[in-house]
Structure formats: C-alpha cells, structure tokens
C-alpha cells in the first residue's frame, strides 16, 4: 500500500517547511508485521498488542530477511540512523495510587502520594546520552490506543545517528541485540513481579 508521510520543520516562528514523502508499506498476511519503505528509511513494525507478536527473536529474524533484500536490491553504502523502539501501554482500571502494584514505585514518584487525587494524566520525558547511542524514555499515566483507555505508558527509544559504513546484516543485528538487552533490563526495573506474572498469563 502507498502512504504519504508529512515532515514539518518547526522554528521559533512556527512551522517553516513541510515536505510530503511517498512511502510503501508491505504488510504480512496476518496483519501483525509490516515494513515501511521510504526513499531513505526502512522500518519494521510489529503490532505489539497482537497475540501473534512473540519475541525479539522473531523481530530479529524478520529484520534479517528484510535487510538482506534491501542490500541486494538497493545496496546502501552507509547507515545514518539506527534504532530500536518498544512502546508498552499497560491498560488497567486502577486508582492512581494502586499503580505501584504493577509499576516500580521509584518510577511513579508523586503518583504514590496524596497528590495523585484527581489526576487524569501524567507524563515524564527522559533522555540518556550513552556510549552507543541515545535512550529516550517516556513514561506516565495517559489514555491511549484505539479506545483511548487509561494506562501506564513505557516508551523506550534507543538510537544512534552516528554514521556506520558497515551495512552488513550482522553489524546491524549486533547493535539491535545490544539495544534490546539494555531496554529489557530497564523495562524489567520498571515493572513489578506481579506485572510480569500478569503478562505471562495474558491478563
């Protein structure tokens, strides 16, 4: 399917430039996985809420197939940006103070106190400059999803914009592996044992 992506450059005086880019989306038959191809990017996406998404290993295998095809047909000479992102939205109907059952209280901060009374949305945006890239982390209590349900957002975006002239599948997957391991360790700190048990049981 063809799509149009609109890029907007915003300056002190407001929007300064808008540019439309034609994109092509290739979607697997079951609808879970898709690859978005633009003139300068390739993005592999999985519908994480779908029961067909199983693991990072499946992502890795599918990316290997897609990048191998891209190397064969387009022959890129360098990778200018490379990243891995996980967006988790834990939907529960809980009093704000009870989120510590699922989320590390160290992350919740004021949400565990009396100041949470009447709270309907809270969002924090953190950015970490690390040796191998940038980790942008957004978290908080926000409504989201098709039904705009309230839930706790854990959004991890690990990326680098340092040019890499090694475009081999192995080089890219090695970096993905590293990013995945670090994101998972962070995610594991963010959630409680109770949350993990509920995830395993499909609750």
Rg (C-alpha) for the chain, rounded Å, is 19
Q: Are 128 and 137 in contact (CB under 8 A)?
A: yes
Closest Cα to residue 59, out of 105, 19, 23, 28? Answer: 28
Q: In the structure, what pLDDT confidence band is assigned to residue 16 with cuts at 50, 70 and 90?
A: low
User: Which sign does the torsion angle of CA 87, 93, 97, 98 carry?
Assistant: negative
pLDDT digits (tens, 9 = 90+) for 95-136: 888 899 999 999 998 887 777 677 778 899 999 999 999 999
What is the pLDDT at residue 147? 83
Question: Cα–Cα distance between 138 and 155 in angstroms, integer?
Answer: 5
pLDDT surpassing 70 at residue 161 = yes
What is the pLDDT at residue 182? 98
What is the pLDDT at residue 144? 86
What is the pLDDT at residue 202? 60
pLDDT digits (tens, 9 = 90+) for 44-81: 999 865 555 568 999 999 999 999 999 999 999 999 99
| b/e code 114-130 from CB counts within 10 Å (16+ = b) | eebeeeeebeeeeeeee
pTM of the model as a whole:
0.87
Q: Averaged over 16-42, what is the pLDDT?
A: 87
Q: Give 62-82 as a 3 state SS string.
A: HHHHHHHHHHHHHCCCCECCE
What is the pLDDT at residue 54? 67
Q: Kindly state the percentage of the chain with pLDDT values over 70.
A: 90
Q: Are 121 and 142 in contact (CB under 8 A)?
A: yes
């Amino acid at each position: 399917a063809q799509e149009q992506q609109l890029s907007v450059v915003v300056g002190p005086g407001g929007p300064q430039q808008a540019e439309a880019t034609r994109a092509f989306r290739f979607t697997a038959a079951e609808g879970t996985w898709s690859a978005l191809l633009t003139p300068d990017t390739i993005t592999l996406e999985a519908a994480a809420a779908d029961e067909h998404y199983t693991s990072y290993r499946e992502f890795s295998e599918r990316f290997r197939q897609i990048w191998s095809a891209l190397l064969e047909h387009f022959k890129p000479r360098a990778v200018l940006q490379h990243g891995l992102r996980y967006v988790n939205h834990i939907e529960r109907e809980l009093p704000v103070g009870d989120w510590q059952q699922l989320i590390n209280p160290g992350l919740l901060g004021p949400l565990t106190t009396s100041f949470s009374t009447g709270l309907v949305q809270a969002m924090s945006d953190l950015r970490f400059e690390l040796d191998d890239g940038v980790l942008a982390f957004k978290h908080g209590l926000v409504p989201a999803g098709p039904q705009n349900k309230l839930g706790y957002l854990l959004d991890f975006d690990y990326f680098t914009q340092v040019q890499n002239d090694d475009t081999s599948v192995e080089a890219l997957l090695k970096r993905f592996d590293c990013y995945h391991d670090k994101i998972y360790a962070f995610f594991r700190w963010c959630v409680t044992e109770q949350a993990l048990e509920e995830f395993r049981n499909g609750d």
